[in-house]
Amino acid sequence: MKKLINDPDDVVDEMLDGMTATYPDRLRRLPDTQVVVRDDGPVDDKVGIVTGGGSGHEPTHAGYIGDGMLDGAAAGDVFSSPTADEFEALIGACDAGDGVLAVIKNYEGDVMNFETAIELAEMEGAEVESVVVDDDVAVEDSLYTSGRRGVCGTILVHKVAGAKAAQGADLGEVKRVAEKVVDNVGTMGTALTSCVTPEKGEPTFDLSDDEIELGIGIHGEPGTERTETMPADEITEHLTEAVLDDLDLDEGQEVLTIVNGMGATPQMELFVVNRRLQELLGEHGLETYDAWVGDYMTSLDMAGASITVCAVDDELKELFDAPADTPALTTK
Amino acid sequence: MTEDGAAAVAAVAAVAERIEAERDHLTELDSAIGDADHGGNMARGWAAAAEAARDLDDPDTGTVAKTVGKTLMSEVGGASGPLFGGSLVFAAAELDGGVDAETAVAFAETYLEKVEDRGDARVGDQTMVDALTPAVHTFKKSIETDDLPPIEALAKAVDAAERGVAFTVPIRARKGRASYLGWRSVGHQDPGATSTLFILEELLAVAADRLGVDAPETDATSPTIPDEDPDEGASEDD
């Protein structure tokens, strides 16, 4: 399989250097690490917001570093958790003395490495809290997790926690709003093709031309169901119904939605999906407060999409509306 | 270098050598129930740890333990990095006042506590805890209740770990990647419990060597596991 890379062993390193070269006035890399932080950080009088995880999900994670969102992010190798010492360096670099919130996606390696780093940072006197995002409604246990996986809903946690921190809220308040998102968000995805990791160079799973996989994660791990391919409207119905079943929202509830491309899906198709998604929300008596469409959390070159629905109240709406200025997401 | 510090550096070198020798064995165990990376990851991590320990200037045992823990944490990766390495960093603090029977027990207990908490695993989940818990409890009892010399307590701990490794075979995995296999995990020896045993065996061998005594006989008798290849049941003697 053709890839626009040099050596698979260098791909993360070269990507990070490329990112800082693209945004030299915004992003800076901590020496001898795969940690990227705000160039002007740590920001005084503000809780630091940090995250991290395997690479291959770009623009997640470093793409969301900036005003109103993240202060820094640790990048692991492709689909592998960063190590605890990298998370520890990240926390230290983003702590201006007002505490740090770690946003962790629910994968065993991410959770254990981040928790170890948090405990080490606390031994050094840092104040650190964490939230674990587990928005994937498709599976209870997967190849990489106990419990549900953390996927695209994590971006909404970054946004809300980042906005709250930018307003000068204390660590407890920032954690509270982050957890509010975690409690009110659900996601489900589908793959039309597998992704190809740089290391392996071939599809992670076989999917024939007339099959799709429902309930996929973001690492090429298998989904919950393999079916014959269907028109976009039907696929959208499967994903939406699964998410809404899980969230069990009252009629009239306002929601923020994301149609997220998995890396190799044309925007054209994402908009086709969003068209049907919005119709379905109407049929369920739900009101769309905001609809996002784009590549927010990808799985390398997988073709497919995920649908995220987050119930919002006045507090969350205000935080979603608050300014953010990052390479991958801007709100004015 | 303090005598204890030198022994600790030697012990880390011995563990690294042993894990390298067992690399394929550990990989084989892991490929049956996981992602076949335990042997390679542990061998890489311990080789780096041995090098880091060797480079220390006149370290005490606590410093060696902390350095090894930090190195494992950054080199092993995955869940094993925080479990084997992170736990060691925290436990190392118990050795700040020097190594004696009392601090050794505190070290072992803190290590176990961190592994249990981080992995959220208990005995019977088919994890490294199945080897570590009986080893630590036996070590503590041998020192505190039976008043045995530390070297004999360590030998008893190795026995207990060996039984613990055998115990992982007939049970079902409830934590770690093997747990996704559900009942299919039954009949497989846990790689993390196995590498834990190898580490303890090398600590015992080095400690005995330093004391100029033969390592006390370990006398674990594995429970009989029906329909299992006996070679897979207990640890390998090599």
Q: Among A135, A157, A183, which residue terminates a domain?
A: A183
* Same domain (yes/no): A179, A306: no
Residues pairing with A331 in the sheet = A324
Residue A145's pLDDT band, with cuts at 50, 70 and 90, is low
Q: Is residue B227 part of a domain?
A: no
The predicted structure's pLDDT at residue A122: 96
Is A61 tagged catalytic? no
The predicted structure's pLDDT at residue B219: 63
Q: State the nearest Cα–Cα gap between A85 and chain B, in angstroms.
A: 6
Write the residue in B81, B89, B175 that is nearest to A83 by C-beta. B81
SS (H, E, C) chain A: CCCCCCCHHHHHHHHHHHHHHHCCCCEEECCCCCEEEECCCCCCCCCEEEEEEEECCCCCCHHHECECCECEEEEEEECCCCCHHHHHHHHHHCCCCCCEEEEEECCHHHHHHHHHHHHHHHHCCCCEEEEEECCECCCCCCCCCCCCCCCCCHHHHHHHHHHHHHCCCCHHHHHHHHHHHHHCEEEEEEECCCCECCCCCCECCCCCCCEEEECCCCCCCCCCEEEECCCHHHHHHHHHHHHHHHHCCCCCCEEEEEEEECECCCHHHHHHHHHHHHHHHHHCCCEEEEEEEECCCCCCCECEEEEEEEECCHHHHHHHHCCEECCCCEEC
- A158, A219, A238, A284: the active-site residue: A219
Q: Is residue B229 part of a domain?
A: no
Angle between helices B3-21 and B191-211 (to 10 degrees): 140
Write the residue in A115, A143, A146 that is nearest to B118 by C-beta. A115
The predicted structure's pLDDT at residue B237: 40
Q: Is residue B137 part of a domain?
A: yes
* Same domain (yes/no): A135, A189: no
Give the closest residue to A198 by CA, choosing from A179, A222, A220.
A220
* Same domain (yes/no): A234, A162: no
Q: Among A183, A215, A232, which residue terminates a domain?
A: A183
d(Cα B38, Cα B84) in Å, to the nearest integer?
12
Q: Do A84 and B83 count as a contact with CB atoms less than 8 A apart? A: no
Q: Among A129, A163, A183, which residue terminates a domain?
A: A183
Q: A42 lies in which domain range?
A: 11-183
The predicted structure's pLDDT at residue A318: 98
Cβ atoms of residues A128 and A49 within 8 Å? no
Is A57 tagged catalytic? yes
* Same domain (yes/no): A263, A143: no
Q: Do B118 and A86 count as a contact with CB atoms less than 8 A apart? A: no
Q: Mutation test of the interface with chain B: which of A9, A34, A78, A85, choosing the one with the most B Cβ atoms within 10 A?
A: A85
Q: Do B179 and A80 count as a contact with CB atoms less than 8 A apart? A: no
Q: Is residue A141 part of a domain?
A: yes
Residue B235's pLDDT band, with cuts at 50, 70 and 90, is very low
Q: Which residues of B touch A106 (CB under 8 A)?
A: none
The predicted structure's pLDDT at residue A146: 67
CATH number for the domain harbouring residue B163: 1.25.40.340
The predicted structure's pLDDT at residue B220: 57
Residue B124's pLDDT band, with cuts at 50, 70 and 90, is very high
Q: Is residue A42 part of a domain?
A: yes
The predicted structure's pLDDT at residue B98: 87
Residue B221's pLDDT band, with cuts at 50, 70 and 90, is low
Q: What average pLDDT does range A259-282 have in this prediction? A: 98
Residue A267's pLDDT band, with cuts at 50, 70 and 90, is very high
Cβ atoms of residues B229 and B28 within 8 Å? no
Q: Is residue B55 part of a domain?
A: yes
Residue of A nearest to B66 (CA): A120
Q: What average pLDDT does range A264-275 have in this prediction? A: 98
Q: Do A120 and B89 count as a contact with CB atoms less than 8 A apart? A: yes
d(Cα B27, Cα B115) in Å, to the nearest integer?
21
> Does residue B1 surpass a pLDDT of 80?
no
Poorest-pLDDT segment among A25-34, A150-159, B204-213? B204-213
Average model confidence (pLDDT) for chain B? 89
Q: State the nearest Cα–Cα gap between B45 and chain A, in angstroms.
A: 12
Q: What average pLDDT does range B66-72 have in this prediction? A: 97
The predicted structure's pLDDT at residue B229: 42
Q: Is residue A195 part of a domain?
A: yes
Q: Is residue A294 part of a domain?
A: yes
Q: Is residue B228 part of a domain?
A: no
Other beta carbons within 10 angstroms of residue B40's beta carbon come to 15
Q: What average pLDDT does range A253-263 have in this prediction? A: 98
Poorest-pLDDT segment among A210-214, B189-193, B229-233? B229-233
Q: Is residue B56 part of a domain?
A: yes
SS (H, E, C) B129-176: HHHHHHHHHHHHHHHHCCCCCHHHHHHHHHHHHHHHHHHHCCCCCCCC
Q: Is residue A22 part of a domain?
A: yes
Number of structural domains chain A divides into: 2
* Same domain (yes/no): A126, A257: no
* Same domain (yes/no): A25, A66: yes
Q: Is residue B212 part of a domain?
A: yes
Residue A150's pLDDT band, with cuts at 50, 70 and 90, is very high
- Percent of chain A residues topping a pLDDT of 70: 98
CATH number for the domain harbouring residue A36: 3.40.50.10440
Beta carbons within 8 Å of B15's beta carbon, 6+ residues apart = B46, B50, B198, B199, B202, B203
Number of structural domains chain B divides into: 1
d(Cα A214, Cα A192) in Å, to the nearest integer?
9
Q: B164 lies in which domain range?
A: 3-216
- A57, A61, A158, A238: the active-site residue: A57
What tokens were used for B125? 């989940």
Per residue in A163-175, pLDDT (tens digit) is 999 999 999 999 9
Q: Is B192 on the interface with A (CB under 8 A)?
A: no
